[in-house]
């Protein structure tokens, strides 16, 4: 499957119970470490996307904007917003240090 410049996920960090994270990992053929399970339980994420999509950015401020995007009315047939959402992004310097890092997946 080819990537599309129009399809991407903005993942909101809803906590994932350990048993669910482990089950989703097994479905994807992954074995999560205790640290990874703890990260999903506390910071959240979407384990079913692991090894299927590439993380290419992080929202470092303006998190309330993500909530507003998530609350937009969508077309029920494909979950696309009824109106286009324009996202302005900027590149951070190479030496940028995120506030939290997620453990890598084996």
Structural domain boundaries in the chain = 18-61
DSSP string across 7-45: -----------HHHHHHHHHHTT----HHHHHHHHHT--
Q: What is the pLDDT along the chain (106 residues), one digit of tens a residue?
A: 455 666 667 777 689 999 999 999 999 899 999 999 999 999 888 888 888 877 777 777 777 888 888 889 999 887 788 998 887 777 778 888 776 665 555 4
Q: How many helices and strands, by DSSP H and E, does the chain display? A: 3, 0
Contact 60, 98 (CB under 8 A): yes
**pTM tops 0.85:** no
């Amino acid at each position: 499957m080819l990537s599309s410049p129009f399809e991407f996920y903005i993942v909101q960090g809803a906590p994932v119970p350990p048993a669910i994270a482990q089950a989703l990992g097994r479905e994807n053929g992954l074995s999560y470490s205790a640290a990874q399970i703890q990260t999903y339980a506390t910071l959240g994420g979407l384990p079913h996307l692991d090894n299927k999509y590439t993380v290419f950015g992080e929202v470092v401020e303006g998190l309330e904007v993500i909530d507003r995007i998530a609350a937009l009315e969508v077309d029920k047939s494909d979950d696309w917003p009824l109106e286009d959402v324009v996202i302005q992004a900027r590149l951070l310097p190479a030496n940028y240090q995120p506030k939290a890092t997620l453990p890598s997946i084996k």
